Structure 1
Amino acid sequence: MEISLAGTRTGEFLLSEAGGERSRESIRLPAGQGMLSAGTLLKADNTVAASGTDAVKVLYGPIDTGTDSAALAVKGAAIARDAEVFGEKLGWASGVTADQKLLAALSLAESGIITRWTQQPIASNAADHLVFVSAPLTGTAGVALAPIVAHVKDVFGALVTGSTVSATLAKATGTGNLAGGGAKAAVGGVITWDAATLSAAGDYTLKVTAADLDEATTDTITIAAAGG
C-alpha cells in the first residue's frame, strides 16, 4: 500500500506521551511494504494495519520499507503505549470507514494509546452479525422449547434497533429434525422463535443465519425422550 509522505510529518499525530522514552519503542518493519508515512497504524508484527481494526502501535516517522519483501527489515520507531494521538492525523488508508476508525481507536486503547478527535467519526449502526441472547440448554422431544431469541448486532456489539432483517433458525448438529424454526423478520433488531421443537432425544446445536451477516450457533441443547 502506497501512502504519500506529503501528509502527516514526524510525530505530528502525537498529542501527549509519557516522560522519557516510555511511549516509544524501536521496531523493525518487514520489508516490501513501500513508503509508510508518520501516523501509519501497525499490527503487533509491525506490518500495516490496513483497516486499523487490529492496530496496536503508531509509526512515529516516515519509513521507506522498499518493494522487495525478501529484503532485510527496516529500523524505525513507533508509539506503542501510554500516549494520546490525534485521530485526524493518523495515516488512514483510502476507503477506511467510520466504523473501522472507531474500532481502530478501541484497538489502540488496549495498548494505552488514546485517540482524540476534533470531530469523532459517527458509528453507522449497520447490521454486522447475529447473537443468541436466549436459548434453552434442555428440552423434551416433540415439546416446544423455551423461546429462542437472537439479536442483530452492529460491529461494536450494540443492538441494531432499526433492523428488520430476515433471519433463519436451523439445526446445526443433531440426529432429529427441527420444526418451528425457519425464517422470521427482526422487530427492533430482535428475532424470537417461541414454538420450536426437536423431534428426537439427543444433543443438538442450532444456528441462526441472515444474508451478509455473521451467523451464530447455540450451546449444546440436550433433548430428553418424550415421556422419559
Structure 2
Amino acid sequence: MNTKFWPDELSDIDFRGPQGVMVVGNGYTICTATPLKSSPQKLNDVGPFASYRAELGIVSDALRFRIKLDYSVITGMEHKNPDCPSLHLKTLTICRETLDMWPRADKYKSAIEAVTQDAFFGRRGADGGLYDPPPVGSDEQTSQYLSLDLEGRATVLLPYCMDQDPDVHPGSVGWVTSLDWTPGKLRYQLDRKVKSGKDVLGLRTLELSEVQGAEADIYRPNDGGENMRQ
C-alpha cells in the first residue's frame, strides 16, 4: 500500500508526457521510475531504470477501474547488456472503486449502484477481446506480452518484460498497455503507449476509444491495429 506510482513532484508541464503522466477524457495514467544508478540529480526522462511503476484507469460516473503495474530489474539475472537490463513485471494490482458507496451494496439506492455488480464482477473478459488491438511490434516483441480477462467485462493487454536496450528491438514501436472495460452502456479502451529502449518512461500517446457497448461489433476497427492519427 505504501508503494508510490506517481512522481514526488508533479506540475502542469509533467502532463505533456515525458514523465509518463497524462489525462485524456475520462482516462488517465501516472508513472514513476528509479534510475539504475544512484545520482544526486533529479530523475530525468531517460533511463535505464532499476524499477518502473505505472498506473492507468478509466472513470465512469461514480465508478473507477484501474490497474497498477510494478516492474523491476531482476538482480542476479544474466543480461545481454548489463548497462540496459530488462524490466520484468513483479506485481499487477486490479482496483475496482466506487464513490460514496461499497462496491458490493446489499440494497441498491440508485441506478449507478445497480450497475456496479455487472461492471465490476460480471462476465470475465471484454466481448470479443480488445475492441481495437494495438500494434505491438515484431513476433519476438509480441511474445513478451500477455492478455488477461478480468471480471466486469474487462480485458488487459500488457508487456510482462520490457527491454531497455535500444538494440534489442530495432525499429520498435515501443510498448503498450491496454485496458478495455464496459461499465454499463458505454465501452472504453485506454491505450498507454510508451517509447522504446531507455525512453520507456516517456509517453508516445495516451489513446481513449469510446463506443456504445451494444454497437461495438458494428463499429469495431478493421485496420489491423493502427495507431490513432495525431
Given the two structures, how large is their TM-score scaled by the length of structure 2?
0.26
Q: Which is greater in Rg?
A: 1
Higher helix share: 2
TM-score (norm 1): 0.26
Tell me which of the two structures has the higher relative contact order, counting C-alpha pairs closer than 8 angstroms and 6 or more residues apart.
Answer: 2
